[in-house]
Structures are given as C-alpha cells and as structure tokens.
A and B are shown apart, each in its own frame.
Chain A
Amino acid sequence: MKRVALIAGATGVLGRAVCRELYAHGTRVACGYATRHQEAETLAAELSGFAVELHPGVDLAETMRTVTGHHGGLDILVNAAGVNHEGSAAALGSEEWRSVLDINLDFAFRLTQAALPPMLRRHYGRIIHLSSIAGRVGGRGQINYAVSKAGIERMARVFALEVGRKGITVNCVAPGVIVSDMTARIRAEYGEALLSHIACHRFGKPEEVAKAVAFLAGEDAGYINGIVLPVDGGMGI
C-alpha cells in the first residue's frame, strides 16, 4: 500500500528535498505551501502529488479532509515549515518574537493535533518535525528561533508519549548547518569557525536531511519514538 504524506513547508529547501525523497520511496505526497503557490504546484506536478495551502491562517481540519479526500488517508506528516527573524536577545521586539513562535511552534502544535484523527483512523502514523541544532545549542541572534526549536523537540516528545500506543510515532530531525538560503549569512560570516566544530568538516546537504526524515517516516521505524535525530555532521561533539 502506498503511504500518504503531507509536507508542510514543501517549497523550502529542506521541504522540497523531503518531498522528493519520500516520493522516491513510493509515497504519495501532498505539498503544503504558505505563499509560494506556483512553486508548490510545479513540485507537486513533478511528484504526481498535489499542492495544498498550509499556514496558520487555514482551517487545518479542512486541510486534512482535502488530503484524505485526494489520497484516501494520511500516514505521514513532515513539518518543515519555519521562519527565522534574527535579532539580539536584548533588543528583539515582541513582533519578531511572536511571529517566529507563531509559525515554528504554535502552528507545529496545531498541525500535529490536526493530523492525529486521520492517523488514528488507520491506527498508524509517522510525524516528523524539522528542528535545528539551534534547539540544542542556541545561537547568537536566534533567541526566538532557538526557543521555538527547543520547544518543538519537547512538544514532539510529549505527543510521542501520548499517541505512541495508537501506532503513531512523533520524532524530530535536527539539521546542523545545511546549505540553504537560511544559513547563507552564518556560513558567509562564520564559515571556517563553524567547520572547525563539525566533525565531518563540511556543511550538510538538504538531501542528507531528507534521507533521515524518510527513514523515520518508514514502517521500519515504528519503534523509534520521541527522539531528536541530529543530522549535523557531528557538530559540537
């Protein structure tokens, strides 16, 4: 049976790689997008899936009905949606604080809740949130982002505790410094310093994160629950 996955943040660098990897594993994909509709449509067409609007402003129960209506159910949720507004902790405005927490944490929570009914119906589910190394070590100028990622890891663990008995696992993948637009500034400013803390001595590729996600999304990962899987080349070990 082909599994069905909904990917939030599918048009981002990591989301896109996850969609392609899951598709390569024989999964039907629904590509969730916030604003980049056309990109999502193009990606969905490439992967024989479909695009679905997915952000804090949509009715998530309706989104789940749309996905299950298209594909007959929902087995996998990957939350790759996230934003980052940098600023020093001492000066960060409440709007910059709130906007990151709203998407990276509140939305992740409501999205996870909304995915449970269709997964319960099948007595099976794989939920994977993309966290970040920032959730473990923090980072200058990233207090909102780091807090949101630390929160998502604890949130995933509590969900895992509560829904594991129903055949639903909830895990996180925590990328280190992956080559993407989001890390362009720190790679440019601190490239060598960062590399000196990474055992593999290189930055990661989106596809490497996607393979970890696909592993946790697979049926064979049914006894892995509530973990944070770092994909960071051995950063800070």
Chain B
Amino acid sequence: MTEHELFEGVCECIRQTLEKDLPEIYESDRLIADLGADSLDFLDLIFRLEERFNVHVNPRDLERRTQQALGDTPMIVNERYTEAAVVEFRKAMPEVPEGELFSDMPVNKLPGTFRVKTFMNLVAYVLGQEKVP
C-alpha cells in the first residue's frame, strides 16, 4: 500500500466517523481540535480502520508499547505521564510538535495531540509496513 492510499483510506474512515462534509483533511490535522472528534468518535474510527484495512487495532496500543519500552519505570503517576513516558511518546509520534507532549502531562490530554498522521502510523504499524517504536 502506498502512503497516498493509506492517507486516503484513513480520511475516508474519518469522514464516515464524523459524518461531516470535510472537503480538505491534512495529515497534520488534530482529530479533536481541528476536525471536531470526541472520545466516542475515536473508538468508532478505530473500528472503521479495522474494517477498512482488515487489521486489528488496539486503542491502547501506544500506551502498551510505551510501557513495554519503559520496563519497570512507571508510565503514569497520579494520572499524569512521567518524563520517561513523554520521551517515548515523542519517538512514537514525531508528527506531534514536541511542545504538546510535556512531562507531567495529564493522561486525558493525550488524545488531544493525535493527528490524522497518528492514525496512519498506527495502521501502518499494525500492517507491519513501518517500524514505529
């Protein structure tokens, strides 16, 4: 699958999920702030991506991989991500500006950083086409 095909597939799923007329979608668009998604849409989008690309996506995959990389080092303390966790997030999500991923970040703020590209990378990772830590 080409990068363009992946992008178009993810955009199609986003349009179906949000049921909005979105003439232009960019890889850098934030799902929540720019496209108007909410937490229910995230789950809906994951299921649509699974159907569209015939893959199984774990919505907690990013956190699971981060915890694996951290070993015994804690990922979350008092409902906030540790510095070590944020370092891993930055590696896993280079599409997110570093300033948006900060030490002591509240756990509920992470979805707000997700871009269209984040979901492309997630699908690509699952498809095994791209190595994402």
Number of A-B contacts (CB under 8 A): 15
Q: How far is the CA of A120 from the CA of B43 in the complex (A)?
A: 8
Q: How far is the CA of A81 from the CA of B43 in the complex (A)?
A: 27
- Return chain A residues, CB-CB under 8 Å to B43: 116-117, 120
Q: Name B residues whose Cβ lies closer than 8 Å to a Cβ of A.
A: 19, 40, 43-44, 47
Inter-chain contact B19/A165, CB cutoff 8 Å: yes
A158 shortest CB reach to chain B, Å? 13
Q: How far is the CA of A120 from the CA of B19 in the complex (A)?
A: 14
A212 shortest CB reach to chain B, Å? 27
- Interface extent on A, as a size class? under 10
Q: How far is the CA of A120 from the CA of B44 in the complex (A)?
A: 6
B51 shortest CB reach to chain A, Å? 9
Q: How far is the CA of A162 from the CA of B47 in the complex (A)?
A: 18
Q: Is A166 an interface residue (CB 8 A)?
A: yes
Q: Name the CB-closest residue of A to B41.
A: A166
Q: Is A194 an interface residue (CB 8 A)?
A: no
Query: Main secondary structure on chain A at its contact with chain B?
Result: helix
Q: Name A residues whose Cβ lies closer than 8 Å to a Cβ of B.
A: 116-117, 120-121, 123, 162-163, 165-166
Contacts A116-B43, A121-B47, A166-B44 known; list 4 others, CB within 8 Å: A117-B43, A120-B43, A120-B44, A162-B40
Query: Main secondary structure on chain B at its contact with chain A?
Result: helix
* CB pairs A–B below 8 angstroms (15 shown): A116-B40, A116-B43, A117-B43, A117-B47, A120-B40, A120-B43, A120-B44, A120-B47, A121-B47, A123-B44, A162-B40, A163-B40, A165-B19, A166-B40, A166-B44
- Return chain A residues, CB-CB under 8 Å to B44: 120, 123, 166
B19 shortest CB reach to chain A, Å? 7
Q: How far is the CA of A123 from the CA of B40 in the complex (A)?
A: 12
Q: How far is the CA of A123 from the CA of B19 in the complex (A)?
A: 13
Q: How far is the CA of A116 from the CA of B41 in the complex (A)?
A: 12
- Return chain B residues, CB-CB under 8 Å to A116: 40, 43
- Return chain B residues, CB-CB under 8 Å to A162: 40
Which 4 A/B pairs are nearest by Cβ-Cβ distance? A121-B47, A120-B44, A120-B43, A120-B47
A188 shortest CB reach to chain B, Å? 46
- Return chain A residues, CB-CB under 8 Å to B47: 117, 120-121
- Return chain B residues, CB-CB under 8 Å to A121: 47
- Return chain B residues, CB-CB under 8 Å to A123: 44
A117, A120, A166 — most chain B CB neighbours (10 Å): A120
Q: How far is the CA of A163 from the CA of B47 in the complex (A)?
A: 15
Q: How far is the CA of A116 from the CA of B19 in the complex (A)?
A: 19
Q: How far is the CA of A120 from the CA of B40 in the complex (A)?
A: 9
- Return chain A residues, CB-CB under 8 Å to B19: 165
B98 shortest CB reach to chain A, Å? 32
- Return chain A residues, CB-CB under 8 Å to B40: 116, 120, 162-163, 166
A102 shortest CB reach to chain B, Å? 24
Q: How far is the CA of A121 from the CA of B40 in the complex (A)?
A: 11
- Return chain B residues, CB-CB under 8 Å to A163: 40
- Return chain B residues, CB-CB under 8 Å to A120: 40, 43-44, 47
A156 shortest CB reach to chain B, Å? 16
- Return chain B residues, CB-CB under 8 Å to A117: 43, 47
Q: Name the CB-closest residue of B to A117.
A: B43
